[in-house]
Amino acid sequence: MTRKPYNGCVTERFAEVRRLLDRYIVEIVETYELCPWARPTRLAGEIAVDVLWGEPALADWQRSAERLAGAPVAMIVAPELAASPGELRAARDSLAARLPDTGIADFHPDAELDLGSPARLVPALRRSPDPLLQLVPLQLIAAVRATPPAVDRAAQAKMLGGLAQALRGDVADRIAEHNHARIAAAGGAFTAALDDLAADRRRSYPRVGIAIRSCR
């Protein structure tokens, strides 16, 4: 399913970026059960997506976040951004300083699989096809932290992917440990799935005029 961007206009380039994002959500996050809220969030249509072209500045990220304000999960994708993982993380930190009521996670296509510990595995779990920032209102994160696992998960379906690591305590620990065990058991199938997404990106983006830049 292709969801329209905030302005209601689906372009060919936007549709291609969204197609790859959906592949990542379904084939990686959901297939490997990395987040218990991912599938219900997607099926409920609670993921808002915006795409920033070229090399967005901090003000561009902030304007996009403001456009998507109110969405349970907002994903801002920068498919032409040539930033390294560290540079994207710095952009996340700067944006978070401007949006104190929002939890922000960074996802980047350049990450090596490191099974040394659950924490060291996180970058590989966030190896999305494109650089992106994911935003969730902190009040929703707090609600998940305060909600026992036995409560209806439909009421908790406000989180996605890497933001599970924004939680603290038992919930976050259980998710992190589950993900570590799941990926360790998957062996090479997990990295093969990520590599297939990357190859799809390399093939499809030039056909619709999306620049593919190397990270600095």
Helix H, strand E, coil C: the string for the chain is CCCCCCCCCCCHHHHHHHHHHHHHHHHHHHCCCCCCCHHHHHHCCCEEEEECCCCCCHHHHHHHHHHCCCCCEEEEECCCCCCCHHHHHHHHHHHHHHCCCEEEEEECCCCCCCCCCHHHHHHHHCCCCCCEEEEEEHHHHHHHHHCCCCCCHHHHCCCCHHHHHHCCCHHHHHHHHHHHHHHHHHCHHHHHHHHHHHHHHHHHHHHHCCCCCCCC
Instruction: Give the domain range for residue 87.
Output: 12-208
Residue 3, in any domain of the structure? no
> What's the whole-number mean pLDDT along residues 32-51?
90
Residue 90, in any domain of the structure? yes
Taking the C-alpha atoms of residue 210 and residue 17, their distance in angstroms, rounded to an integer, is: 9
At residue 137, the pLDDT reads 87
User: Does the structure show a pLDDT above 80 at 146?
Assistant: no
Residue 199, in any domain of the structure? yes
The lowest-confidence range among 13-27, 53-67, 151-165 is 151-165
User: Does the structure show a pLDDT above 70 at 165?
Assistant: no
At residue 161, the pLDDT reads 43
User: Does the structure show a pLDDT above 80 at 4?
Assistant: no
Higher pLDDT, 143 or 12: 12
Residue 6, in any domain of the structure? no
Residue 3 sits at φ, ψ, to 5 deg, of: -85, 140
The tally of domains found in the chain comes to 1
User: Does the structure show a pLDDT above 70 at 49?
Assistant: yes
Confidence of residue 170 (pLDDT cuts 50, 70, 90): low
Taking the C-alpha atoms of residue 175 and residue 152, their distance in angstroms, rounded to an integer, is: 17
Residue 216, in any domain of the structure? no
Q: What angle do CA 169, 174, 180 make, to 5 degrees?
A: 125
Strand partners, 132: 77, 107
User: Does the structure show a pLDDT above 60 at 148?
Assistant: no
**Cβ(90)–Cβ(114) below 8 Å:** no
User: Does the structure show a pLDDT above 50 at 1?
Assistant: no
> What's the whole-number mean pLDDT along residues 23-50?
91
At residue 163, the pLDDT reads 44
% of residues, the chain, pLDDT over 90: 64
Q: Please return the burial class of 83, using the count of CB atoms within 10 Å of its CB with bins 0-12, 13-18 and 19+.
A: buried
What pLDDT, in 10s, does the model give residues 117-143?
Answer: 999 999 999 999 999 999 998 876 555
> pTM of the predicted model, to two decimals?
0.82
User: Does the structure show a pLDDT above 60 at 168?
Assistant: no
> What's the whole-number mean pLDDT along residues 57-74?
94
Residue 4, in any domain of the structure? no
**Cβ(197)–Cβ(26) below 8 Å:** no
Residue 33, in any domain of the structure? yes
Q: What is the dihedral of CA 39, 44, 156, 183, to 10 degrees?
A: 10
What pLDDT, in 10s, does the model give residues 178-198?
Answer: 999 999 999 899 999 999 999
At residue 86, the pLDDT reads 95
Residue 213, in any domain of the structure? no
> What's the whole-number mean pLDDT along residues 194-213?
95
